[in-house]
């Protein structure tokens, strides 16, 4: 798994953000039984930049906690079979052969504020946002209550397997 990691913001974190991200991404890929080595880009940014991205890509002019930019259009969530067809050829990095899943952009100041609001650690909130976004990169969504329940269960399972709990 390749993690392209960029930290474009000024907040100091009390944990190794790259290491936590790699662990969460790997766990989600394992739980979803991804049969390929994968590539993900993670960008840590500030509230102004994520607001601009949200406005530009979603036409929503406000700050958000995380944005996901999937590069694979799955016929159904985490259904990897189609990648073996001609249709899936463009989904792989021609240099590394890895499945290019897409980009995750996290607003660190928002993650810090949400951790305080929800009463858990910043590390837990950060890991949750990555797990959530990874599921989007694998084709999951939460537009209906049923979809949201599936995503919530999968997010919690990944964090539980990593021992990342809600306790401070």
Query: Helix, strand, or coil here: 48?
Result: helix
Q: How far is it, in rounded angstroms, from Cα 125 to Cα 118?
A: 9
Query: Helix, strand, or coil here: 10?
Result: coil
What order do you get walking across the sheet with 38-45 strand by strand?
2-7, 38-45, 99-107, 66-70
Count CB-CB contacts under 10 A for residue 154.
21
pLDDT for res 85: 86
pLDDT for res 120: 94
pLDDT for res 91: 94
Per-residue pLDDT of the chain (168 residues; tens, 9 = 90+): 999 999 999 999 999 999 999 999 999 999 999 999 999 999 999 999 999 999 999 999 999 999 999 999 999 999 999 898 887 889 999 999 999 999 999 999 999 999 999 999 999 999 999 999 999 999 999 999 999 999 999 999 999 999 998 765
Full-model pTM? 0.96
Q: How far is it, in rounded angstroms, from Cα 113 to Cα 73?
A: 32
């Amino acid at each position: 798994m390749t993690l392209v990691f960029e930290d474009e913001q000024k907040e100091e974190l009390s944990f190794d953000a790259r290491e936590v991200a790699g662990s969460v991404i790997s766990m989600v890929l394992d739980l979803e039984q991804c049969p390929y080595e994968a590539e993900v880009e993670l960008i840590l940014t500030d509230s102004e930049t994520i607001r601009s991205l949200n406005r530009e890509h979603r036409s929503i002019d406000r700050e958000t906690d995380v944005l996901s930019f999937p590069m694979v259009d799955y016929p159904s969530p985490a259904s990897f079979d189609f990648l073996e067809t001609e249709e899936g050829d463009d989904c792989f990095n021609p240099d590394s052969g890895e499945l290019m899943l897409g980009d995750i952009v996290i607003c660190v100041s928002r993650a810090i504020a949400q951790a305080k609001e929800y009463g858990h650690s910043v590390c837990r909130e950060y890991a949750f946002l990555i797990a959530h976004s990874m599921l989007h990169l694998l084709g999951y969504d939460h537009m209906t209550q049923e979809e949201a329940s599936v995503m919530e269960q999968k997010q919690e399972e990944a964090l539980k397997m990593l021992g990342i709990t809600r306790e401070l």
